[in-house]
């Protein structure tokens, strides 16, 4: 069975096991200072025994199982085990409160819950009386739980022991169960943030997850030799579509950091080829460099001040003005590569990065410029829980003010009111137990194509790049009836290196928009000094 042709995630696991065997590393996890490796054979056995253990406990096809935990191998093994049984995995964020967990567990009709540790088990015990349908809670980190005698709690290893016993009795059962699964079976539920009410459970099929991976790999190739650092929450659709799915599509190694606090250290140790970080994390990396540079030796500070302008100049020529880089600049850049850029990338663990993406909030242009200057091209993604990746910067066609173009297989159009509509195989199947919301979000045109109404406002530039404005509900209307996005205007103004912060003011009481601008005195001062202009601060 070919990994790329298998039509469910568990089938791709079996194909990977057949291809790579028991020797090739599939995952690594940093634990108490040491990297622990898991081969494809071990991953296969973990999922096999866990799935059969769930069957022994009575899990049926179509039943839901919640998982609340961090980026750990056990999280993904649990998810694949549930799917191998024909069940649906439901991710829950670890910072969820007991009432939030209770809502998702009840709403999803979960039969079982996987919980990482004592903290999550305690939350579930708090709401136990309100979730009577949950037959057991299965934990994988036993620290702090040794004295718990509640039979509702079962260890990961105990469930796998049941699976081993069943496997000895019916050795063909696991792969037979996986074979019964189909591409249109539901794979996961991803609950929306619930900012405008209770969270909605987006139903995501195997087709949806595999489509995102199979479409993205056409413009951003991944290889079985690639290293990937799993950091974004596994309950988030993006980590599923571009993390686990890619792992099972090409066989890249997934690395799990020891904790959120050790990400920077673990990043340098792994030096991954592929990274998917939030805008906030990219920004924190830049801030960390600037702080450490200020504390560094005088020679390092001199090299930084000398070569960073060279990096910015060359990056501007290559990516913004798209003009040839002259011989003099190439020589200076080569010197900067040896003296500054390569050491900086090494300190941040970016020496091998080939695919670097930012998702979530819009990334500050200064952050993009910084990484381009040192030789890392960050690209932005635009997507949603319901449709996964809609657009991305492809190749070197990167524009600060846009979120790229539709990925292969995705269609995009702007409705009459300015709302962004998307269509493609990755678009979800609807909201669980909420047909009214699904009917409002999904529209079928005269040609039978399904469109998802994103609720976002935007427009296309002359080159077909999408310019994201804001949520439709966040647009403000001026006295003359014109609508505008405060976030978009503020973001565009902050593209200027001379603007530190900005706030726009407008509304129905006036026919224009006012901007309150906090200038960057450092950059403005240098600009004035170069031109011999007097100024005060």
**Phi, then psi, of 511 in degrees rounded to 5:** -100, 15
Q: How far apart are the first and last CA of the chain?
A: 69
Q: How confident is the model at residue 475 (pLDDT cuts 50, 70, 90)?
A: low
Split into its structural domains, the chain has a count of 3
Residue 237 resides in a domain: no
User: How would residue 522 be classed by pLDDT, with cut points 50, 70 and 90?
Assistant: confident
CATH code, domain carrying 188? 3.40.50.12780
**Residue range 11-31: mean pLDDT, rounded:** 93
Q: Are residues 194 and 283 in the same domain?
A: no
The rounded distance, in Å, linking the Cα atoms of 41 and 246 is: 18
Greater confidence (535 vs 216) lies with 216
**Phi, psi at 105, each rounded to 5°:** -60, -45
The per-residue pLDDT of the chain, averaged, comes to 90
* 65 and 186 inside one domain: yes
Q: Are residues 180 and 302 in the same domain?
A: no
Instruction: Mark which of 349, 373, 397 sits at the end of a domain.
Output: 373
Residue range 271-293: mean pLDDT, rounded: 84
Among 47-61, 124-138, 254-268, the minimum mean pLDDT is found in: 254-268
Asked whether residue 172 is assigned to any structural domain, the reply reads yes
DSSP state of 376: -
340 occurs within a structural domain: yes
- The residue from 342, 373, 404 where one domain ends is 373
pLDDT at 1: 67
Cα(344)–Cα(373) distance, rounded to whole angstroms? Answer: 11
Looking at residue 196, its pLDDT comes to: 64
- The answer to whether residues 201 and 327 belong to one domain is no
Q: What is the pLDDT of residue 490?
A: 75
User: Average pLDDT, stretch 111-138?
Assistant: 97
- Measured between alpha carbons, how far is 177 from 54 in angstroms, rounded to an integer? 12
At 525 the pLDDT is 81
449 domain residue, yes or no? no
CA quadruple 502, 506, 510, 511: dihedral sign = positive
On whether both 200 and 283 belong to a single domain, the answer is no
Q: What is the pLDDT of residue 238?
A: 87
pLDDT tens figures, 485-521: 777 777 667 667 678 788 888 777 777 888 888 888 7
Residue 185 shares a structural domain with residue 284:
no
Is residue 391 in some structural domain?
A: no
% pLDDT > 70, the chain: 96
Residue 395: strand, helix, or coil: coil
- Alpha carbon dihedral 237, 239, 240, 243, in 10-degree steps, equals 160
The answer on 174 and 300 residing in a single domain is no
User: What pLDDT does 194 receive?
Assistant: 62
- Least confident piece of the model among 17-21, 30-34, 498-502: 498-502
pLDDT of residue 495: 62
Co-location of 177 and 316 in the same domain: no
Decide which of 205, 237, 263 is a domain's last residue: 205
Residue-level pLDDT at 81: 98
Kindly state whether residue 162 falls inside one of the protein's structural domains: yes
Q: Is the pLDDT of residue 294 over 80?
A: no
The total number of residues written for the chain in this structure: 537
pLDDT beyond 80 at 239 = yes
The pLDDT tens digits for 78-91 are 999 999 999 999 99
Are the beta carbons of 4 and 215 closer than 8 angstroms? no
- Assigned domain for 419 exists: no
The C-alpha angle with vertex 156 and arms to 151 and 161, in degrees rounded to 5, equals 90
The mean pLDDT value for 405-424 works out to 93
Same domain, residue pair 190 and 290: no
- Model confidence, pTM: 0.87
pLDDT score at 24:
94
Q: Which range in 52-61, 192-201, 296-305 is most confidently predicted, on average pLDDT?
A: 52-61
Domain range for 499 is 476-537
Is 465 part of a structural domain of the chain?
Answer: no
- Residue 195 pLDDT > 70, yes or no? no
Residues in CB range of 121: below 8 A, 6 or more apart:
115, 137, 139, 145, 148, 153
């Amino acid at each position: 069975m070919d990994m790329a042709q298998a039509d469910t995630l568990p089938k791709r696991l079996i194909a990977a096991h057949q291809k790579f065997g028991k020797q090739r590393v599939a995952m690594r996890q940093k634990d108490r200072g040491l990297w622990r490796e898991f081969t494809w054979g071990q991953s296969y056995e973990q999922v096999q025994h866990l799935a059969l253990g769930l069957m022994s406990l009575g899990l049926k096809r179509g039943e839901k199982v919640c998982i609340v935990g961090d980026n750990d191998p056990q999280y993904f093994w649990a998810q694949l085990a549930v799917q191998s049984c024909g069940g649906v995995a439901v991710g829950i964020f670890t910072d969820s409160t007991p009432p939030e967990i209770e809502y998702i567990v009840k709403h999803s009709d979960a039969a079982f819950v996987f919980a990482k540790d004592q903290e999550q088990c305690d939350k579930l015990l708090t709401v136990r009386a309100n979730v009577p349908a949950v037959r057991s809670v299965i934990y994988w980190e036993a620290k702090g739980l040794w004295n718990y005698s509640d039979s509702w709690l079962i260890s990961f290893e105990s469930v796998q022991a049941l699976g081993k016993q069943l496997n000895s009795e019916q050795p063909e059962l696991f792969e037979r169960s996986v074979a019964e699964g189909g591409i249109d079976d539901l794979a996961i539920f991803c609950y929306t943030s619930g900012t405008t009410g209770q969270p909605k459970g987006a139903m995501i099929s195997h087709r949806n997850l595999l489509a995102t991976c199979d479409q993205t790999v056409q413009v951003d190739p991944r290889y079985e030799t690639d290293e990937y650092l799993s950091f974004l929450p596994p309950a988030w659709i993006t980590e599923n579509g571009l993390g686990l799915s890619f792992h099972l599509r090409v066989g890249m190694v997934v690395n799990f950091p020891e904790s959120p606090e050790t990400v920077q250290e673990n990043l340098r140790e792994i030096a991954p080829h592929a990274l998917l970080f939030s805008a906030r994390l990219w920004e924190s990396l830049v801030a960390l460099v600037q702080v450490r540079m200020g504390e560094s030796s005088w020679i390092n500070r001199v090299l930084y001040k000398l070569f960073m302008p060279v990096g910015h100049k060359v990056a501007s020529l290559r990516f913004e003005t798209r003009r040839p880089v002259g011989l003099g600049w190439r020589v200076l850049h080569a010197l900067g590569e040896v003296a500054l850029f390569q050491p900086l990338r090494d300190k941040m663990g970016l020496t091998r990065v080939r695919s670097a993406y930012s998702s979530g909030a819009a990334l500050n242009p200064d952050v993009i410029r910084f990484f381009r200057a040192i030789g890392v091209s960050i690209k932005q993604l635009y997507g949603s829980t319901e449709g996964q990746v809609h657009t991305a910067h492809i190749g070197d066609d990167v524009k600060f003010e846009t979120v790229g173009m539709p990925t292969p297989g995705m269609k995009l159009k702007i409705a009459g009111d300015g709302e962004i509509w998307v269509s493609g195989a990755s678009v979800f199947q609807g909201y669980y137990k909420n047909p009214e919301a699904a009917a409002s979000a999904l529209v079928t045109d005269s040609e039978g194509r399904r469109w998802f109404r994103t609720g976002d406002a935007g427009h296309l530039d002359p080159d077909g790049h999408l310019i994201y404005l804001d949520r439709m509900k966040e647009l403000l209307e001026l006295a003359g009836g014109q609508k505008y996005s405060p976030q978009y205007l503020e973001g565009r103004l902050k593209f200027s290196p001379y603007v530190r912060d900005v706030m726009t003011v407008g509304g129905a009481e006036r026919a224009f928009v006012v901007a309150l601008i906090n200038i960057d005195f450092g950059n403005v001062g240098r600009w004035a000094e170069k031109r011999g202009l007097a100024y005060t601060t």
